[in-house]
Structure formats: C-alpha cells, structure tokens
C-alpha cells in the first residue's frame, strides 16, 4: 500500500509545535486544525493571526479540557487585505 503524504500545513514537528490552519470564532477564540485533531487557541494567544491563516502553534498544557496552544508565528496569510 502507498503511504499518503500529509499536507505540509498539517505536519507536526518534534519541538512541541504543530502547523495548521486557524479558524476564529465570533467570540475571538479559535481552533487550529492540525494532524490528529484540533487545538484550542484563546483570543489572547493569537499573536496577530487571523481567521484562515496557516500558523505555527506551540502546544501548551490544556488543564484537562483538550489540546491547546499559542500561535508562534503566521506561516501564510489567508487574506492580504483587512
């Protein structure tokens, strides 16, 4: 059987980071869709990222509510115009 290549925006690396697409809710918090599931991002941890951006996310302790992270940097902007 052939191995499927994972899209580059969903790959995780070994340093506690994942790369994925950010989806922001109306309330300002968001989720990064990454390989193996989604990561919660509080509105205080967006680091300038906007809805639809591809971001590098540092995984953080989640306090028992699922996976969580902080945006480390924007890898690719989804929109050029605000």
For residue range 43-66, list pLDDT tens digits in order: 999 999 999 999 999 998 766 778
The pLDDT assigned to 80 comes to 72
Give pLDDT tens digits along the chain (82 positions): 555 444 444 444 446 899 999 999 999 999 999 987 899 999 999 999 999 999 999 998 766 778 999 999 999 998 876 6
DSSP code string of 11-55: -B-TTSEEEEEEEE-TTS-EEEEETTEEEEE-GGG-TT--TT-EE
CA distance 82 to 80: 7
Cβ pair 58, 16 in contact under 8 A: yes
Cβ pair 39, 59 in contact under 8 A: yes
DSSP classification of residue 7: P
Q: What's this model's pTM, rounded to 2 decimal places?
A: 0.76
């Amino acid at each position: 059987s052939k191995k499927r290549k994972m899209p580059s925006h969903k790959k995780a690396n070994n340093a506690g980071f994942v790369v994925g697409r950010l989806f922001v809710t109306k309330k300002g918090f968001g989720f990064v869709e990454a390989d193996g599931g989604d990561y919660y991002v509080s509105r205080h941890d967006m680091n300038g990222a906007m809805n639809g951006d591809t971001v590098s996310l540092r995984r953080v302790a989640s306090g028992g509510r699922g996976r969580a992270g902080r945006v480390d940097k924007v890898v690719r902007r989804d929109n050029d115009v605000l």
